[in-house]
Copies of this chain bind each other. A is one copy, B any other.
Amino acid sequence: MSDGPKTVTAAVIVIGDEILSGRTKDQNLSFLAEALNDAGLQLREARMVADVEAEIVAAVNSLRARFDYVFTTGGIGPTHDDITADSIGAAFGLAVDYHPAAVDILKAHYAHTGAELNQARMRMARTPAGAALVENPVSKAPGFRVENVYVLAGIPSVCQAMFHSLKHELAGGDPVRSIAIAVHLAEGTLAKGLSALQENYPDVGMGSYPFYREGRFGASIVARGQVPERLTAAADEIRQLMRDLGGEPIEEEAGQN
């Protein structure tokens, strides 16, 4: 017997009133969902919380204990509503102060641009004690990491650039791959046979997603697993089930998620 696939888990915390108010559509969660899976991490929970320290602390402490990695986005700019660094410090019981290397980065950046490195901008150099910096190639003010919690910016282009800066640090597991097969059969017709297949493949997750396209109802069955041969075998049985029920399997993409 082999040891089976290695599973590494992650959670995301999207911080910001503007997301919860519906004004701003979050783009970071869908980016991270895919990027984490590419890195061999399975996103297991996501939370969107308000700009309130107690809420951020509660989310960070709940999730960092349960998952291998936690990624936060938002709240690390220069304005009064940017409270993520202080909240992470509070979550870990660590003092928050100016990080010398972050101060150097900001000094060099503002010397270059000619803008004043005022007290507000200096806020962007504050981190919990002992934090490791995450490089920001877009706008320089860095993200940071404390233990298994990575703190990234909310602006999508910056969040993405920071993730690319840090991803080599992640110790990923075996990635999840998926095979999606659609059919013009109702979910309720497929359900019994699919349930039996799921029992035979506990290591391959099977999800059923109904659709209505071009005037016809159907369901897309998505099989997801870490062991390629098991995934392929499960997909073959799903196609056979569809044919047995009078449907013609329609291949959708095989994917990394």
What is the predominant secondary structure among interface residues of chain A facing chain B? Answer: mixed
> B residues within 8 A CB of A25?
30
> B residues within 8 A CB of A80?
191, 194-195, 198, 206, 208
B29, B120, B195: the one contacting A79 at CB < 8 Å is B195
**A55 contacts chain B at the CB level, 8 A cutoff:** yes
Which residues of A does B touch, CB under 8 Å?
16-25, 29-30, 33-34, 37, 43-51, 55, 77-81, 115-116, 118-121, 123, 155, 176, 178, 180, 186-192, 194-195, 198, 205-210, 222, 224, 255, 257
Q: Which residue of B lies closest to A119 (CB)?
A: B192
Q: Which residue of B lies closest to A224 (CB)?
A: B21
> B residues within 8 A CB of A191?
78-80, 118, 120-121, 123
> In whole Å, how far is A184's beta carbon from the nearest beta carbon of chain B?
13
Q: Is the CB of A257 within 8 A of B22?
A: yes
> B residues within 8 A CB of A155?
210
> B residues within 8 A CB of A198?
80-81
> B residues within 8 A CB of A222?
18, 23
- A118-B192, A188-B115 in contact; A207/B43 too (CB < 8 A)? no
